[in-house]
Chains A and B, each alone.
Chain A
Amino acid sequence: MTESILKLDHVGVRFDALRAVDDVSLDVKRGERRAIIGPNGAGKTTLFNAVTGVVPPSSGRVVFEGRDITRAPPHRRAAWGISRTFQITNLFPSLTVRQNMELAIRGLTPRKFSFFGLPAATDEERAQADGALTVSRLASRADSAVNELSYGEQRQLEIAMALAPNPRLLLLDEPAAGLSPAERVIVANIIRALPKDITIVLIEHDMDLVLSLVDWVTCLNNGQFLAEGTPADIRNNADIQNVYLGKARHHA
Chain B
Amino acid sequence: MAAPISQAATPTYETRRRPSRVAAWIVLITVALIALPLVLPSYQVSIATQILIFGVLAMSIDVLAGYGGRTSLGHGAIFGASTYVVIYWTSVLGGGIWTGIALGILCTTLLAAVFALLAIRTSGVYFLLLTLALGMIVWGLCLRWTSVTGGENGLRGIGRPDLIADHISFYYAVLLVVVPVTWAMWRFVHSPFGLTLRGIRDSESRMRGLGYNVPLHLFIAFVASGFFAGVAGALYALFNNFVSPSTVQLSQSVAALLMAITGGVGTLLGSFVGATLIISLENAVSVFTARWPTVLGLTFVLIMIFAPEGVVGRARILLSQRRKRQSSRALH
Contacts and interface: CB of A to CB of B under 8 A. Distances in A.
A112 B203 CA distance: 16
Nearest to B205: A90
B206 interface: yes
Contact of A107 (B187, B194, B210): B210
Contacts of A154: none
A111 interface: yes
A92 B196 contact: no
Interface stretch (B91-99, B170-178, B211-219, B279-287): B211-219
A75 B208 contact: yes
Interface in A81-123: 83-84, 86, 90-95, 99, 102-104, 106-108, 111-119
Contact of A103 (B188, B196, B213): B196
Contacts of A73: 208, 213
Given A86-B205, A90-B205, A116-B184, A78 B210 contact: yes
Nearest to B224: A115
Contacts of A179: none
Contact of A116 (B188, B210, B213): B188
Nearest to A115: B193
Nearest to A122: B192
Given A95-B202, A103-B199, A115 B211 contact: no
B195 interface: yes
A175 interface: no
Nearest to B190: A119
A56 B198 CA distance: 27
Contact of A90 (B184, B188, B193, B203): B203
B209 interface: yes
B196 A106 contact: yes
Secondary structure type dominating chain B contacts: helix
Contact of A115 (B191, B205, B210, B214): B191
A191 B194 CA distance: 32
Given A79-B211, A107-B210, A107-B211, A116 B198 contact: no
A92 B192 CA distance: 15
Given A75-B214, A78-B209, A79-B211, A115 B188 contact: yes
Nearest to B184: A116
A104 B199 CA distance: 10
A119 B213 contact: no
A239 B259 CA distance: 64
B209 A106 contact: no
Interface string A121-156: 000000000000000000000010000000000000
Contacts of A91: 202-203, 206
Given A119-B190, A119-B194, A75 B212 contact: yes
Query: Which of A73, A107, A113 is packed against the most chain B CB atoms within 10 Å?
Result: A107
Contacts of B192: 102, 106, 111-114, 117, 119
B295 interface: no
Contact of A161 (B194, B210, B212): B210
A116 B193 CA distance: 8
Contacts of A107: 207, 210-212
A95 to B, nearest CB: 6
A231 interface: no
Contacts of A92: 198-199, 202-203, 206
Contacts of A113: 192-193, 220
A214 to B, nearest CB: 22
A52 interface: yes
A115 to B, nearest CB: 5
B147 interface: no
B211 A114 contact: no
Contacts of A38: none
Contacts of B209: 52, 54, 74, 78, 83-84, 86, 90, 162
Interface in B204-246: 205-214, 217, 220, 224
B15 interface: yes
A79 B188 CA distance: 25
A108 B211 contact: yes
Contacts of B203: 90-92
Contacts of A223: none
A74 B195 CA distance: 20
Nearest to A146: B202
Contacts of A102: 192, 195
Contacts of A93: 202
Interface in A18-67: 52-54
A112 B195 CA distance: 8
Query: Which of B184, B202, B206 is packed against the most chain A CB atoms within 10 Å?
Result: B206
B60 to A, nearest CB: 15
A74 B209 CA distance: 6
A211 B202 CA distance: 34
Given A91-B206, A116-B188, 9 more contacts: A74-B208, A78-B208, A93-B202, A94-B201, A108-B210, A119-B192, A119-B194, A119-B195, A165-B210
16 contacts: A54-B208, A54-B209, A75-B214, A83-B210, A90-B209, A91-B202, A94-B201, A103-B196, A107-B207, A107-B211, A112-B192, A112-B217, A114-B191, A114-B193, A118-B191, A143-B15
**Complex A-B, nearest 9 residue pairs according to Cβ-Cβ distance, in ascending order:** A107-B211, A78-B211, A107-B210, A92-B202, A74-B208, A114-B192, A116-B187, A103-B199, A90-B206
